[in-house]
Amino acid sequence: MRLHLYLITSMIKALLPVTLMLLALFSFLALAEELEDVGKGLYSATDALAVVGLTLPNRLLDLLPVMLLLGALIGIGGLAGHSELTAARAIGRSPLQLMRGPILTALAVGVALLLAAQFVVPLAEREAQRLRDKAETEQEVVASEADGAADPVPGEADFWTRSRQQIIRVDGEPDGALLQDVEIYAFEDDSLVSVRQAVSARVIDRAQWELQNVRVLSVAQDAPVADRSLAGEAREVDLPVGGLDTLVAPAASLSLFDLSARIGHARANALDVHGLRVLLWQRLSLPLASLAMMLLALPFVFGNTRVLPIGERVTFGVIAGVAFYLVEQVSVHLAVIYRLHPMVLSLAPELIILSLLGVWLWRMSEG
């Protein structure tokens, strides 16, 4: 037990500075990108700093599996350099037995990443998006006032969605239960049958809206266009669990449950869900990725240091970790572009690594 705690502590001590260094590096790059928008509208340097801070949890989701590898290489590799692992193996401990504690730690980190993806990342990403949207809105208002217009420039931030046989447009992003300037295009057998233009709409629940001050244009085939006005009208819609917020928010800011609900809604309305499925499987594979990267350190820290010094082993391990990160990032884009199977592409790299490590562990136990 003390040996396991010793190995876990060594790995965590190495993991912390690696985490801080990589987060600082990638945050600096993100800040440089955000600073390009400073000065547009009311987007200030303070907003840019806040956005970089709020996107830290999402950045951590991408980097932590690689950080685990680096932490294991540096922390446990340091023990190998001092022949402490050789001494442990001399008393009959196999590499797998020695790494049991760090492996359980990696699994715990993977589960923590899933919880963060469900509860922490959505809140932080939506707040970051709110800051960006606020800057863009203020920019539109300033532009409109400069042109002498009374209202912000319309139509540039309209929200569109499909619900059953209806296509819905809302002026601006929905905010709360009251929507402004709503249009509903109703179809039957792929033919437009009516258009509803409502000054506002109150969201009763995700299945029903109450339209107010409605103009209804009926455009049935072989009949003249009928135009009538209504003070109010109840209208059935079909929105996912979470309502409009789930549809409006960027996919990267959705929790796992909301992402799954958005995929279900898009499928029900015959919309493309491939990109959403890639993102969902990428997040669901986080525990497996954490475990695979943790175990990837094994061949580099165990072995005869007389054949290859531990310093060079760690260097090769770092190169392998960086290569894995780049391959994973590229494969996500390839999956979206070439419509590759999301589950297979998300799990294949980790399963290949685990299979190769299984063979390596079997050969070590046989030797």
Residue-level pLDDT at 367: 61
Does residue 151 surpass a pLDDT of 50? no
Q: Which amino acid is at 44?
A: S
Record the pTM.
Answer: 0.80
216 within 8 A of 196, measured Cβ to Cβ: yes
- Cβ neighbours of residue 229 under 8 Å, at least 6 residues apart? 213, 214, 215, 216
Does residue 333 surpass a pLDDT of 70? yes
Q: How far is CA 243 from CA 4, 207, 248, 253, 270, in A?
A: 47, 9, 9, 15, 18
Does residue 139 surpass a pLDDT of 70? no
How big is the CA angle at 223 (ends 218 and 226), to the nearest 5 degrees? 35
Does residue 300 surpass a pLDDT of 70? yes
Considering only CA atoms, which of 101, 106, 109 is closest in space to residue 1? 101
Q: How confident is the model at residue 136 (pLDDT cuts 50, 70, 90)?
A: low
Percent of the chain with pLDDT over 90: 26
259 within 8 A of 322, measured Cβ to Cβ: no
Q: How confident is the model at residue 189 (pLDDT cuts 50, 70, 90)?
A: confident
DSSP class of residue 224 equals P
244 within 8 A of 261, measured Cβ to Cβ: no
Assigned token pair, 59: 């950045």
**Residue 122 to residue 59: CA distance in whole angstroms:** 13
346 within 8 A of 285, measured Cβ to Cβ: yes
Give the HSE-up count for residue 149: Cα atoms under 13 Å, Cβ half-sphere. 10
- Across 222-249, average pLDDT: 82
Q: How confident is the model at residue 303 (pLDDT cuts 50, 70, 90)?
A: low
**Residue 217 to residue 226: CA distance in whole angstroms:** 6
Assigned token pair, 360: 């390596």
Q: How far is CA 320 from CA 139, 184, 251, 311, 327, in A?
A: 45, 53, 30, 14, 10
Residues in the chain: 367
Lowest-confidence pick of 126-130, 164-168, 246-250, 337-341: 246-250
Assigned token pair, 332: 């996500």
Instruction: Please state at what angle helix 342-366 crosses helix 310-338, rounded to 10 degrees.
Output: 150
Element (H, E) at 194: strand 191-205
Does residue 19 surpass a pLDDT of 80? yes
